[in-house]
Chains A and B, each alone.
Chain A
Amino acid sequence: MQLEYIGAFNVVLGVLARFWPVWIALVLVMGASFAYKKRLGLYGQLFDSSVGIVGVGICLFWLFTAIFASTISPFNPLAQIPIMKDALPGAVEPQSGLVYLFGGDKLARDVFSRMVYGSQIVLIIAPAATGFALMVGITLGLPAGYYGGRIDTVLSFLANLVLAFPVILLFYLLVTPGIMETPIPYAMAGLFFLFPIIFFSVLSWTRYKKRPDRLYILLGLTLIIGGWVYAGLVFDADPFRIIHIDPNQLNIFVAVVFASSPGVFRIVRGLTMDIKTRDYVAAAQTRGESPWYIMLWEILPNARGPLIVDACLRIGYTTILLGTLGYFGLGLAPESPDWGTAIKDASRLLRSFIHPALPPTIALMSFVLGLNLLADSLREQSMKD
């Protein structure tokens, strides 16, 4: 049976049309940001430069793509329709009359839908892993920089130890099917996921030590929400069955946090050592504030600029790491629609078909580019102050 094709121009139109929820959301958010940019602080200042606008635009584009993935994609990313095997872009699927806009891959799945769904995996894991890495890095980096001495020596040695691992070797050792039979990933998850709870507890304790009415509410909230998420993620024992993570996703998550937290640690440590010589820190010390109050409420807010820039770059870097994992077939399921796995599958068949390879590569590149542009323009804005 012969497949029908639509022309290249119609493919472009079709792709633009499929993304309609994204365009509406983009116009709304960007328009509102433009209108109120004076009142939006650092975020509003991004709209003063073209680089910043492009960066925010690309990041929001992928964010909305991930949110509206089920509306945008015409097909199920895992569904195989045998007749569409290796179909070229623009092939019409005979039964539903819908179009394989970017063609079909070797397992007859829609490349376009897989690209759209792939954004979900990246946009969930990359920012979350970066967030945890930030928590770990900040909680350990602040005391290392502030106290110095033996704590600093030990923590820096450990951080350098992890940094001396080539990332790829780390992943080959930590993300294997074998290691899931051992308690190692769960122990590491148990350790890393403690840090946010510790961080927020100390944060509220130091601030409201003298005001028990506020303190008990905040501490209680932190412990209940933190404990709930912790139970769900580490032990997969969420009593309400809302928070759940696959064992292999947990493994990836832990490995990525492990690989990127020493970097955050080094940056926070350096910033702390710089900021602790300032006058306002000396003033706080003279007032008799506790060391942790000074670290969390005097030093950390003043280190936020470089940390935000680093977080943006780090989300991009984590995206690249996830792609690397997918490319080597580590951790993620073989049929998973994430971009790295798609690139791996397509790159083996480049000699015969090139169309399944291009959408995931361009998607990954554009998302990381957006984040890098965002980081660059944030850096320029924070330098102006």
Chain B
Amino acid sequence: MLSFILRRLGTMALTMLCLTMVVFFLINLDPNLKKLAISQTEMHTSAEQLENWLVNHGYRQNFFSRYGQWLGIVPKQPVTDPATGKPARRFAFCNDPVEPTFSGVLQGDFGCSTKFKTTVASKLFPALSATGILMFWVLMVMVPISLLIGILAGMREGSRTDRTLSVASIASTATPEYVSGVIFTVIFASWLGLLNGSAASASRGITFYNFTLPVMTLAIYGIGYIARMTRASMVEVMTQQYIRTARLKGLSFGSVVVKHALRNALIAPFTVIMLQFPWLLTGVVIVEVMFRYQGFGYTLVEAAGNNDIDLLLGCSLVSVFIVLITQLISDVGYAFLNPRIRVQ
């Protein structure tokens, strides 16, 4: 088991290395750098001045040395101030080292955000914790509801309950966040006036009034999918021999479902729930933009829209890490939960 986890961690590190390099390459394409230079300098600068700005801020160094510096395996060189000729900080607003040091992601330095004029870490981590709160409530709503729907539907395959709930869950998988968000806002905020259509005030304090709509919107797309997986798994379990045996020895239907079927039926949904995280990431971006909640997704969109290279790299690193770690947890957890699977 341990060697399996270690091997998976190795693959994960390799994947992350490849992915960050691809992201680094795509973000640092020439048109993107030019746009960054234009947004960071005064209006009406000549092409030559833009080029100078890029050289002065170290964007014109060799690709691999820049990637190495960002990663922290090549010492980060301070730039030379063109006026004095002395080494200077790359950006005045964050504490870049003035002498060459190893200072990259591996050392915990995520760089400088050009849009927010601060270090990436001081922007990214509060945003992540805000999104963490949102995710927590989404999971608290999504998991119990979807498991309940799935179990009720899968208990008696082909019954009227099953058909109704199945169509309802298909409908929910057909409703992406930007659709359900609009519909819920129209119903609950515009018509009924019960809830707030904006979660901007939620960063100061979460209330039922301002937080329900984002949580509902984010949960609804996942509910259908998890419920369908639970239903499929439940249907399969209910056809097993041991369920028939339990019924034949005279146990009531309810107790067969709760005591015998449920535990085995919940193994597959565990994997599905873990693998929902990457999908939730996209949903988080949509929902946070739609309801103006200052979290991770909002930061990602701001970073991408403003060519904020270091911040976008930080965001990609976090999201790729989340995807890979949930994959790992789902594999390991599956092996733990299901005694029939033994990892060599």
Contacts and interface: CB of A to CB of B under 8 A. Distances in A.
Contacts of A141: none
B185 A166 contact: no
A365 B179 contact: yes
Interface string A157-177: 100110011111100111011
Contact of A372 (B29, B170, B312): B170
Contact of A361 (B170, B171, B183): B183
A376 B30 CA distance: 46
Contacts of B197: 350-351
Contacts of B182: 343, 346-347, 350, 357-358, 361
A178 B31 contact: yes
Interface string B28-49: 0111101100000000000000
What's the interface size class on B, roughly? 35 or more
Interface string B197-238: 100000000000000000000000000000000000000000
Contacts of B282: 166-168, 324
A323 interface: yes
A337 interface: no
B174 interface: yes
Interface in B255-305: 278, 281-282, 285-286, 289-290, 297, 300-301, 304
A228 interface: no
A358 B35 CA distance: 36
A182 B174 CA distance: 35
A343 B319 contact: no
Interface in A361-376: 361, 364-365, 368-369, 371-373, 376
B173 interface: yes
B324 interface: yes
Contacts of A166: 278, 281-282, 319-320, 323
B167 interface: yes
Interface in B26-76: 26-27, 29-32, 34-35
A173 B20 CA distance: 12
Contact of B286 (A157, A324, A372): A324
Contacts of A365: 174-175, 179
Contacts of A364: 176, 179
Contacts of B30: 181-182
Contacts of B315: 169
A34 interface: no
A179 interface: yes
B35 A347 contact: no
Given A173-B27, A182-B30, A373 B170 contact: yes
A381 to B, nearest CB: 15
Nearest to B280: A166
Contacts of B26: 173-174, 179
Contacts of B300: 168-169, 172
A215 interface: no
Given A178-B29, A343-B179, A376-B170, A173 B23 contact: yes
A316 interface: yes
A320 interface: yes
Contacts of B190: 350-351, 354
B150 interface: no
Contacts of B286: 168, 324, 327
B185 A168 contact: no
Contacts of A357: 182, 186
Interface string A129-160: 00000000000000000000000000001001
B247 to A, nearest CB: 24
A318 to B, nearest CB: 12
B18 interface: yes
Interface in B287-344: 289-290, 297, 300-301, 304, 312, 315-316, 319-320, 323-324, 327
Nearest to A375: B170
A90 interface: no
A182 B320 CA distance: 25
A328 interface: yes
Given A168-B285, A181-B31, A369 B174 contact: yes
A300 interface: no
B194 interface: no
A223 interface: no
Contact of A51 (B15, B167, B179, B324): B167
A196 interface: no
A331 interface: no
A343 B304 contact: no
A4 to B, nearest CB: 25
Nearest to A340: B178
B29 A182 contact: yes
B320 A164 contact: yes
A369 B166 CA distance: 12
A169 B179 CA distance: 20
B232 to A, nearest CB: 10
Nearest to B14: A157
B7 to A, nearest CB: 13
A165 B281 CA distance: 10
Contacts of B9: none
Interface in B86-144: none
A169 B319 contact: yes
A160 B171 CA distance: 29
For B30, B178, B304, the residue with the greatest tally of chain A CB atoms inside 10 Å of its CB is B178
Given A168-B300, A178-B34, A376-B170, 19 more contacts: A51-B167, A161-B15, A164-B19, A164-B324, A165-B320, A168-B285, A173-B304, A178-B29, A178-B31, A178-B35, A182-B30, A328-B301, A347-B178, A350-B190, A350-B197, A361-B178, A368-B174, A371-B174, A376-B166
23 contacts: A157-B11, A165-B320, A165-B323, A166-B278, A167-B282, A168-B300, A173-B27, A176-B31, A178-B31, A182-B29, A182-B30, A316-B174, A328-B289, A347-B185, A350-B182, A350-B197, A357-B182, A357-B186, A368-B175, A372-B174, A373-B167, A373-B170, A376-B170
5 tightest A-B CB contacts, nearest first: A178-B31, A369-B174, A368-B174, A172-B304, A166-B281
